[in-house]
Structure 1
Amino acid sequence: MEELVSVAVTAAAGVHGDFRGAVRQGKLPRRQVSLIEAESWEAALRELDDAQAQLLPWYSRRANLCVAGIRLPREAGAIIAIGSNCRIEVTMECDPCSRMDEIRPGLMAALTPDWRGGVLGRVLDDGEIAVGDDVRIER
């Protein structure tokens, strides 16, 4: 994982540099971009009640983007707008996988309630996004 200050997000490739966002011919993309709330990550770590766990950075979750101060939609079809142009449609919950327990035992269960593991989406409109950009829920 690599923490970036800005990145291009496109309908053709998802988050620049993440091969999982590329659209395969004949397939409808559902998992191009993963987003997690900083508050949900912190709640999961608090639930672990372990000083070492509190030091885990958000990107340990392996999410593409971390947002703060906004509650991400908990339903498919919602639209998240980031910066001036980028729009992402929520397609599903990002269920935590067993890799989370490899990072810290119990993390998978701590990320499970209330979509704490984040959301997955497909890019509707390309955009260059950066740390500090405005994040809005359009519907």
Structure 2
Amino acid sequence: MAFPFFGDDKSVVARLLATLPQVGRVEWIGLRPARRQPLLSVPQVEALTDAHLTGDHARPKPGGKRQVTLIQHEHLASVAGFLGLPEPVDPGRLRRNLSISGLNLLALKNRRIGIGAEVVLEITGECHPCSRMEEELGPGGYNAMRGHGGLTARIVQGGSIRVGDAVRVLEGA
């Protein structure tokens, strides 16, 4: 059924998908100093254009789709709930680089976001959980993370990212 005041159904959905007026926030930053080592929580990091985060052991190829990983901060409590834990899961246990609050990250797929004054990320896809979640979170960790693994991104424009930085959807992206 079409909505006469909006136009056809496809244009309504397109308008709804494009409506993201809120601004998010960087809640946490984590770096993996070496393979299979605990993440280090840091107050700020330098994002290198089309490369990686300084201090993170991952070295994706230029143009790679997984230069940075992001997780929905609000999902930390959901994952804990699925595991029967009383407190939200520490983001460092989930092995993602940035924990972002205030924006539905899944609504950002294939879009560009600005972080702070300089950094531009292109959201490239979902970051599905791996079997390491069983090691980290215990039995059921993998299933608790399904649908809550976060997203991957490419660094379009580098610069500093700090805890507390605003995260905004870039127009036309």
Where on the TM-score scale, by shorter chain, does this alignment land: which range? 0.7 to 0.9
> 1:74·1:93 contact (CA, 8 Å) conserved in 2?
no
What TM-score do you get using the length of structure 2 for normalisation?
A: 0.70
In structure 1, the residue matched to 2:95 is 62
Confirm or deny that 1:94 pairs with 2:132.
Answer: no
Q: Displacement, 1:103?
A: 1.2
* AA at the equivalent of 1:68: S
What TM-score do you get using the length of structure 1 for normalisation?
A: 0.86
Q: Displacement, 1:74?
A: 4.2
SS of 2:106's equivalent in the other structure is coil
In structure 2, the residue matched to 1:3 is 41
SS of 1:41's equivalent in the other structure is helix
* AA at the equivalent of 2:102: G
**Displaced runs of 4 or more, over 6 A:** none
Counterparts of 2:117 and 2:110, CA distance in 1: 20
Q: Displacement, 1:101?
A: 0.8
Q: Displacement, 1:72?
A: 1.0
Q: Which has the larger radius of gyration?
A: 2
Residue 83 of structure 2: which of 21, 30, 48 is its match?
A: 48
Tell me: higher relative CO, structure 1 or 2? Use CA pairs within 8 A at least 6 residues apart: 1
Q: Displacement, 1:55?
A: 6.0
Q: Displacement, 1:33?
A: 0.0
> 2:125·2:151 contact (CA, 8 Å) conserved in 1?
yes
Confirm or deny that 1:129 pairs with 2:161.
Answer: yes
Aligned length: 132
Q: Displacement, 1:59?
A: 1.1
Identity of aligned residues (%): 32
Structure 1: unaligned runs, 5 residues or longer? none
